[in-house]
């Protein structure tokens, strides 16, 4: 079974464990097509080659690289005509030009197609994206939705093909694993990992920690346009000495950063056109036996389950209470740490994602 996966997300090295696991299936000849880099705003992520055994990794230049909705791969048709795949897995939303272009090229090559979606808010799109979306929904043979919410939106949009609910990527439980037991004699370390945007609720987090008692520090890991404002907030609230900003970290080094934390917080805020679609850093922290706290935005409560603490989004005192409870109760920290890893092993490993994805390929290939 010849499969081509088209994915800008796979410039991230840690995510490539998924494709290595897929390639271990003996009846798959897997080719993965990625760009040389992906740019989001001013943040440019170069292709990391970390897990590339067992499959062909092909680098194709992008047109309009960094434009989420309008980028595409001009050389894709040439690649597909050479490979002649049976299945083309387009790891893009159905309203993106890259999906439409890949759908057209795949069908020309005689392949069956699927796309991936995280979109968990129903929106009527403006032209030309409404037309792009309609084209893809009418022609795809299968769809993978990252959550039940995304599946429901697909059905509302009129997609009539089969839909599998599978997270885009799982967690490698060897890479993301518990470290040595941390000494608790120093400051309680509260962390966030991800983009520094207002919709991630980071101003709520800064306000919440300001009123905490005891010895603590806040580590904000990532880049984004909110950084300067967060620094100003920390300064004005008198917590600058307790707040550190850690820039972009290569994906394979993230587990070590997570293991330095006493708690990982994802305080996302729902916006008119966005709510949390999964919160991958939650399962990464849980796999490392780091307790997690998340807001109730979007899919966060479903990801955490009973293996962490959930608070009403935007509620500063509720978030502060959650952090305080973990600071004060070591037994609660340990219980949630163990429960988090168990939940990941049961639901969110790369092996689990690969198993479900492979089933979809088999159905599509007949």
Whole-number pLDDT of residue 248: 79
Tell me the HSE value of 27 on the side-chain side, using a 13 A CA sphere.
9
Exposure of 338 by Cβ count < 10 A (0-12 exposed, 13-18 middle, 19+ buried)? middle
Tell me the HSE value of 262 on the side-chain side, using a 13 A CA sphere.
25
Distance between CA atoms of residues 266 and 156, nearest Å:
29
Does pLDDT of 339 surpass 70? yes
SS3 157: coil
Q: Do domains 2-170+350-365 and 188-347 have the same CATH topology?
A: yes
If phi > 0 it is left, if psi is from -120 to 50 it is alpha, else beta; for residue 195 that is: beta
Residues 153-187, buried b or exposed e (16+ Cβ, 10 A)?
A: bbeebebeeebbebbbbbbbbebbeeeeeeeeeee
167-224 pLDDT, tens per residue? 999 999 999 999 865 555 589 999 999 999 999 999 999 999 998 999 999 999 999 9
Whole-number pLDDT of residue 14: 87
| % of the chain residues with pLDDT over 90 | 92
Whole-number pLDDT of residue 193: 97
Whole-number pLDDT of residue 249: 82
Tell me the HSE value of 87 on the side-chain side, using a 13 A CA sphere.
26
**CA distance readout (Å), 132 to 94, 135, 169, 183, 200:** 7, 5, 25, 54, 29
**CA distance readout (Å), 344 to 33, 108, 123, 232:** 28, 40, 31, 36
CA 128 from chain centre, in angstroms, equals: 27
133-151 pLDDT, tens per residue? 999 999 999 999 999 999 9
DSSP states along 306-341 = TSSEEE-TT-HHHHHHHHHHHHH-HHHHHHHHHHHH
Whole-number pLDDT of residue 278: 95
Tell me the whole-structure pTM to 2 decimals.
0.89
CATH: 3.60.130.10, 1.20.1250.20, 3.40.50.740, 3.40.50.2000. Which one for 188-347? 3.40.50.2000
Question: Please, what is the average pLDDT of the chain?
Answer: 95
Whole-number pLDDT of residue 43: 78
Distance between CA atoms of residues 284 and 257, nearest Å:
11
245-299 pLDDT, tens per residue? 998 788 889 999 999 999 999 999 999 999 999 999 999 999 999 999 999 999 9
CATH-assigned architecture of domain 2-170+350-365: 3-Layer(aba) Sandwich (3.40)
- CB contact at 8 A, 291 and 188: no
SS3 123: coil
Does pLDDT of 313 surpass 90? yes
Peptide linkage before 341 cis (omega within 30 of 0): no
Distance between CA atoms of residues 194 and 201, nearest Å:
11
Whole-number pLDDT of residue 26: 85
Q: How confident is the model at residue 305 (pLDDT cuts 50, 70, 90)?
A: very high
- Sorted by where each begins, the domain ranges of the chain are 2-170+350-365, 188-347
Q: Return the H-helix or E-strand segment holding 365.
A: helix 350-365
Q: Return the H-helix or E-strand segment holding 18.
A: helix 17-23
């Amino acid at each position: 079974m010849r499969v081509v996966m088209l994915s800008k997300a796979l410039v991230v090295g840690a995510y490539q464990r998924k494709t290595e696991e897929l390639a271990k299936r003996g009846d798959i000849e897997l080719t993965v097509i990625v760009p040389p880099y992906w740019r989001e705003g001013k943040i440019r992520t170069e292709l990391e080659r970390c897990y590339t055994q067992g499959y062909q990794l092909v680098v194709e230049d992008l047109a309009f690289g960094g434009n989420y909705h309008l980028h595409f791969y001009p050389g894709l048709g040439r690649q597909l005509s050479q490979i002649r795949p049976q299945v083309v897995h387009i790891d893009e939303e159905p309203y993106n030009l890259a999906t439409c272009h890949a759908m057209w090229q795949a069908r020309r090559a005689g392949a069956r197609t699927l796309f991936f979606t995280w979109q968990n808010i129903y929106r009527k799109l403006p032209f030309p994206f409404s037309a792009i979306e309609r084209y893809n929904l009418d022609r795809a043979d299968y769809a993978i939705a990252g959550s039940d919410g995304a599946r429901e939106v697909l059905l509302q949009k009129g997609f009539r093909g089969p839909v599998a609910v599978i997270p885009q990527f799982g967690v490698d439980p060897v890479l993301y694993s518990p470290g040595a037991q941390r000494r608790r004699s120093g400051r309680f370390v509260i962390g966030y990992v991800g983009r520094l945007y207002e919709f991630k609720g980071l101003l709520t987090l800064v306000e919440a920690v300001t009123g905490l008692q005891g010895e603590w520090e806040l580590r904000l890991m990532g880049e984004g346009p909110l950084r300067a404002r967060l620094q100003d907030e920390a300064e004005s609230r008198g917590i600058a000495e307790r707040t550190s900003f850690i820039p972009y970290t290569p994906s394979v080094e993230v587990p070590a950063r997570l293991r330095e934390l006493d708690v990982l917080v994802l305080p996302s805020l729902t916006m008119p056109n966005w709510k949390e679609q999964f919160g991958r850093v939650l399962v990464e922290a849980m796999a490392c036996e780091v307790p997690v706290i998340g807001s109730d935005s979007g899919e966060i409560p479903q990801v955490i389950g009973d293996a962490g603490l959930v608070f009403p989004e935007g509620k500063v005192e509720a978030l502060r209470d959650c952090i305080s409870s973990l600071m004060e109760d070591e037994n609660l920290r340990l219980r949630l740490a163990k429960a988090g890893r168990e939940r990941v092993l049961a639901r969110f490993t790369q092996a689990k994602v690969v198993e479900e994805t492979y089933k979809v390929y088999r159905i599509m290939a007949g």
